Structure 1
């Protein structure tokens, strides 16, 4: 690889431009959300120093001087006026995706060029895998700008985000009745109930918007999209990536089209798509919230001892999305993770194996291009990691290498045809132990049913 690309650009404040969104009038002061990728908290925001005072939430301004805390007032006014949901997440995602600046539409001639590359990719993928990227129809493609990518992704992930919202909201309900005779505790419980769903909408919108800034196609995350929808290509990002890495633009475009077509083929297999979709939904539905964390955080804050250290501690705590959402990984989610990570490893391993088989013959600069693109996918920011955590995905280099080892282990023993057996029967999906020992998987699926 000849050198690294220049430092990725983008707005210093990914919430810039949100002040015009209905119900989000207070967000122009969220400088503390800053660069979502710069934080000491795993998957956290960069701090919340720009949030106003608590005085904007009815009654809080008079509680021991909390109204003077320069942390939460603007956010609280926003939370009271905004209706959380997909529309809010979509608007936030669009604004962040394009940095609050209007984007040009995709040139129709460029759409036609991509459609021609998709036709070629579809044929090559079908030949290499024996699978149809669009069963029963020609593979369609939607060529979009960053805002368009964000819109589609919020829509495609709506079931997952809806399950997250319901999970968090439902587990907050009982705690509102656990504080009889304690007005302060009851009020703070109310803050937790209010902040959870709205912060989830804002956070998921922000995370999708950040993904939209660098996603090349629809499968920047290996998450099934609704069957029958067109393949997704974010052309501005594809061409920007080509320029940054000094790669041939046509080669990069073709690589992305083939990569997306392979994922379409894999998720076109009903039992693969259904298995992963079910795991993702079960994970999203199993969050357990801890509203006491926010209550304790605000309740322990001593307005009479206000100083740099106390403000720094409060800001550090509130800079974590886990604190704001009150969400923690539950034991049910922990139980799902081995199965989820194993299935994702098998899928990504198969996709990479297939890309190597197709790309080496199709793209002259494939080795250099592939190295750059695989580095691109693991150089995720903290905000990328947070959305992965919300969905239950683990997509670091170790996970990709695990999948590659499984695919190569099967291919060495049984060839590409052996690896295709992943898609012939639901029982052929590997267990966590089998992903780490390809021979065990082959031995099991050879047993009589």
Structure 2
């Protein structure tokens, strides 16, 4: 009878049981004769199986993310010169944005992060976003194991099922860590993927990635930095002065993630062929994807809500930051189009994350949203445009993105005279709750930050 789950002795034959193990395989230590390598292997295995903090081994995820950054070209702490450049860019960006929006500066400090610092400082938000899907996977792994065993062995395999859940947390943690490490090599700051990942009121840039983005554009480095600082500062204004927005966005992501279902046939394929001597195959199975959105009215509504709010945020930022850049930066049109293309297509790390948890991080319709904000500016002015952020019920819907002229005409007729823009800025409207979930939705309160 074959040994289930590939837990037999690794190797390529009786004469040389370890000949097929590469030097990077952790189980190669069994045959290396190196006591230090053997000790490290058992330490790593013990850490994986001793974790009991939830469906994702976040200690492992953070470690893998940092190692992914190091393997991709290294990382370094920010020097005083780079911090001064970021501080100056954010200061100028705030001055340039002031005439173009009624929302005042949203950040009271500027930060220059290394890639590793980006990982450390955004991890708490990623936990919020990833764990709903991870919990489904880890629980499903524990349930998939009994189906792979003969009836008479299932009761005796109970301890093994517990171990499988721990291994599931470790496997998911490793894959999340790899995706975060890759993403850390691409992001410009704390908000440029449309989610408020960093601490509130802290405008942040990642200088190494800003410099990498500018390579090949033929644009002076200071203009690239200023353009991206404008976008970061605009995001910060929006999240700081629209009191309901942060919770609304994170809740929309969580609602969609909770509706992702696990492809059990794919999961059973992974479990039945699980071989601890071949972590590359495990990673490939995850990257091939085993998640599908549930085709239900509630899930379709959650997706529409998520795509629309991300598009509206990105469209507003594109409009406001683009207008500020056009007045001060000669390369503004080139930089604006480069960022638009990047947001439309997504980078490799965004694609990796989409495959891993079934969630694309980029807005599909931000060009339509940017056009709508432009029309609203022309029809109602800056005050009337920004007043729409006073409450989620006032914002354009997905249908409005399809028919922008009708929405602008209706908004122009209403004139916004019943809205006091000062109430948006001082928060006297209160923190409006996120949209109520559609009937039949499983949406809960979540753990959204305010």
TM-score by length of 2: 0.70
Equivalent-residue separation in structure 2 for 1:392 and 1:228 (angstroms): 24
RMSD (CA atoms): 4.1
1:99/1:176 CA distance change after superposition, 3 Å: closer
**Counterpart check, 1:88 vs 2:88:** no
2:120 maps to 1:151: yes
Once residues 300 and 100 of structure 1 are traced to their aligned partners in structure 2, the CA distance between those partners, rounded to angstroms, is: 30
Deviates more, 1:264-273 or 1:367-376: 367-376
Is 1:392 equivalent to 2:356 in the alignment? no
Structure 1 residue 282 displacement after superposition: 1.9
Distance 2:192 2:291 in 1: 24
Q: Return the alpha-carbon distance in structure 2 between the equivalents of residues 348 and 114 of structure 1.
A: 22
- Residue 336 of structure 1 corresponds to 302
Q: Deviations over 1:119-152 (max 9, x none)?
A: 2212332431111342xxx531210222222222
Deviation at 1:391, TM superposition (A): 6.8
Is the Cα contact below 8 Å between 1:168 and 1:327 reproduced in 2? no
Deviations 1:20-79 (A, max 9, x none): xxxxxxxxxxxxxxxxxxxxxxxxxxxxxxxxxx9997x72179x9999989x8599967
The answer (yes or no) to whether the contact 1:167–1:286 under 8 Å persists in 2 is no
Q: Is the 8 A contact 1:94 1:148 kept in 2?
A: no
Q: Is the 8 A contact 1:93 1:151 kept in 2?
A: no
Asked whether the equivalents of residues 89 and 154 of structure 1 are also in contact (C-alpha less than 8 Å), the reply is no
Question: Which residue pairs with 1:181 in the alignment?
Answer: 151
Contact 1:144 1:234 in 2 (8 A): yes
- Name the CA distance, whole Å, in 2 between partners of 1:297 and 1:277: 30
Distance verdict in 2 for CA 1:202–1:342, change over 3 Å: same
The Cα of 1:257 is off from its aligned counterpart by 1.0
Q: How many residues align?
A: 378
Q: How many Å separate the matches in 2 of 1:165 and 1:258?
A: 35
How far off its partner does 1:208 sit? 1.5
**Alpha-carbon distance in structure 2 between the residues aligned to 1:323 and 1:391:** 11
Q: Distance in 2 between matches of 1:394 and 1:104?
A: 27
Structure whose CA Rg is larger: 2
Distance 2:166 2:264 in 1: 11
Offset, 1:216: 1.7
Partner of 2:371: 405
Is residue 319 of structure 1 aligned with residue 289 of structure 2?
A: no
Please report how far the alpha carbon of residue 273 of structure 1 lies from its aligned counterpart in structure 2 after TM superposition: 1.8
Q: Matches of 2:72 and 2:398 in 1, distance apart?
A: 43
Aligned partner of 1:242 among 208, 214, 217: 214
TM-aligned CA deviation for residue 340 of structure 1: 0.8
Q: Which residue of 1 aligns with 2:444?
A: none
The SS at the match of 1:328 is strand
Quote how far apart the aligned CAs of 1:423 are: 1.2
Tell me the alpha carbon deviations over residues 337-387 of structure 1, each in whole angstroms, 9 at most, x when there is no partner. Answer: 111111111111111111221111121221223233333444534432232
> Residue 93 of structure 2 contacts residue 226 of structure 2 at CA under 8 Å; is this kept in 1?
yes
Residue 201 of structure 1 deviates from its aligned partner by 1.4
Instruction: Say whether the 8 Å CA contact 1:353–1:407 is kept in structure 2.
Output: yes
- How far 1:444 moved relative to its partner? 6.1
Larger mean CA deviation between 422-431 and 402-411 belongs to: 402-411
1:146-171 Cα shifts (integer Å, max 9, x gaps): 22222223244232233333343345
**In 2, Cα distance between equivalents of 1:287 and 1:191:** 25
1:444, 1:191 → 2: CA distance? 59
| Partner residue in 1 for 2:315 | 349
Partner of 1:127: 99
> Which residue of 1 is the match for residue 32 of structure 2?
none
- Equivalent residue for 2:424? none
- Kept in 1, the 8 Å contact 2:97–2:324? The answer is yes
Q: Which residue of 1 aligns with 2:7?
A: 60
SS in 2 for 1:370: helix
Pick from 330, 350, 362 the counterpart of residue 328 of structure 2: 362
Tell me, in whole angstroms, the C-alpha distance in 1 between the residues paired with 2:347 and 2:57: 25
List alignment gaps of at least 5 residues for structure 2.
28-40, 275-279, 420-450
Equivalent pair of 2:194/2:362 in contact (CA under 8 Å): no
Match of 2:69 in 1: 97
Q: TM-score, normalised by structure 1?
A: 0.70
Match of 1:110 in 2: 82
Q: Distance in 1 between matches of 2:220 and 2:338?
A: 12
Tell me, yes or no, if the aligned pair for 1:145 and 1:235 is still in contact at 8 Å. yes
- Tell me the distance in 2 between the aligned counterparts of 1:245 and 1:338: 34
Secondary structure in 2 matching 1:98: helix
C-alpha distance in structure 1 between counterparts of 2:226 and 2:258, whole Å: 37
CA–CA distance in 2 between the matches of 1:130 and 1:381?
Answer: 33
